[in-house]
A = this chain, B = another copy of it.
Amino acid sequence: MSNKELVFGHQNPDTDAITAAMAFSYFQNQLGYETEAVALGEPNDETKYALDHFGMKAPRVVETVSNEVDKVMLVDHNEPQQSVSDLDKVTVTHLVDHHRIANFNTAQPLWITARPYGCVSTIITELFQEKHINIPANLAGMMLSAIISDTLLLKSPTTTDHDREAVKYLAKVAGVEDYEKYGIDMLKAGTNIAKKTDNEIVDGDAKTFELSGNKLRIGQVNTVDLDDVFSRQADLEKEMRNLMDQNGYETFVLMVTNILNSDTDLFVVGDHTETVEKAFGKKLENKRMNLPGVVSRKKQVVPPLTDAFEG
């Protein structure tokens, strides 16, 4: 095998998972590494909109990596169950992430830059700046898109001053004059609920979490009108139950997030619904609860669930 390394984000890739892999691969290649950005799935509609807008190609999709390389670089995730299925057969040499660290164990020291920022593309922007490496305009446009996506146009509580600075910097490099207008167009492109299958809605951006031995699946779908999603509630529940049966999830939590007013309806199916109620101090009605101001899975949904399941 050559010294080549693959760089990739998590399963069900969102705009940051795809873009951070492209950006970190480019960065490492400038430093002399031989890397290729790949993805663990096809780009979603939002990411496709951004790729089209900036004239870039989606990374190649891979199912496994150990058949090609023996070393990899991870971006935007570190939990093995969110990664490639044969991760245990390769060595992780680099990690750039903005998530909690969980079940990430290595045999050897490695290079890690993790920051509690809103977006991995923000961290990578700072890496470029520290090393005084220029970011190509189209890549900067993708990184701008990733930050807008992860922070819902800098409105999510995960947003930091680092993200705001990076957005300004990248918009300039990318030649995007009105990033707010571009951002709303891009976010809307990702919310075409009518076009989505039941599976895409509930599982398209879902991740698995193990909380005190309980396997939770937590999905999130963005919309500009909650009714577009909940008019299909019965079918969505059926699909969630299918996925639970197939994959052994005990609980399926779907965040239905209105990107215009930054609210989320939580839609909960399966066991442990009282634990979910305890986590948020609210009762479920018709399996749903409204959480005003909640938009971030990582910052506003996973931590209270973790506390409730482990408490």
The residues of A with any CB-CB pair to B shorter than 8 Å are 97-116, 130, 298, 303, 306-307
> Do A101 and B104 form a contact, CB below 8 Å, given A111-B115, A112-B113?
yes
A108 to B296, CA, bound (A): 13
A130 to B130, CA, bound (A): 7
Are B100's CB and A103's CB within 8 A?
Answer: no
Copies held by the complex: 2
Question: Chain B contacts of A101 at CB under 8 A?
Answer: 101, 104-106, 110, 112
Are A116's CB and B105's CB within 8 A?
Answer: no
A289 to B307, CA, bound (A): 49
A102 to B107, CA, bound (A): 8
A216 to B110, CA, bound (A): 22
A114 to B130, CA, bound (A): 16
The contact of A114 among B107, B112, B306, by CB within 8 Å, is B112
Are A103's CB and B102's CB within 8 A?
Answer: no
Question: Chain B contacts of A97 at CB under 8 A?
Answer: 109
The 7 closest A-B pairs by CB, nearest first: A112-B114, A109-B116, A100-B106, A101-B106, A102-B105, A112-B112, A98-B109
Question: Knowing that A107-B307, A109-B116, A112-B112 are A-B contacts, what are 15 other residue pairs whose CB atoms are under 8 Å apart, sorted by A's residue number?
Answer: A98-B109, A100-B106, A100-B107, A101-B105, A101-B106, A101-B112, A102-B105, A103-B105, A107-B306, A108-B116, A109-B114, A109-B115, A111-B116, A112-B113, A113-B113
> Chain B's nearest CB lies how many Å from the CB of A74?
12
The contact of A303 among B108, B116, B306, by CB within 8 Å, is B108
Question: Chain B contacts of A100 at CB under 8 A?
Answer: 105-110
> Chain B's nearest CB lies how many Å from the CB of A195?
32
Are A109's CB and B306's CB within 8 A?
Answer: no
Question: Chain B contacts of A104 at CB under 8 A?
Answer: 101, 104
Contact sample, A vs B, 30 pairs, CB 8 Å cutoff: A97-B109, A98-B109, A100-B105, A100-B106, A100-B108, A100-B109, A100-B110, A101-B101, A101-B105, A101-B106, A101-B110, A101-B112, A102-B105, A102-B106, A103-B105, A107-B303, A107-B306, A107-B307, A108-B116, A109-B115, A109-B116, A109-B298, A110-B114, A110-B116, A111-B115, A112-B112, A112-B113, A112-B114, A112-B115, A113-B113
Question: Chain B contacts of A99 at CB under 8 A?
Answer: 109
A155 to B26, CA, bound (A): 33
> Chain B's nearest CB lies how many Å from the CB of A105?
5
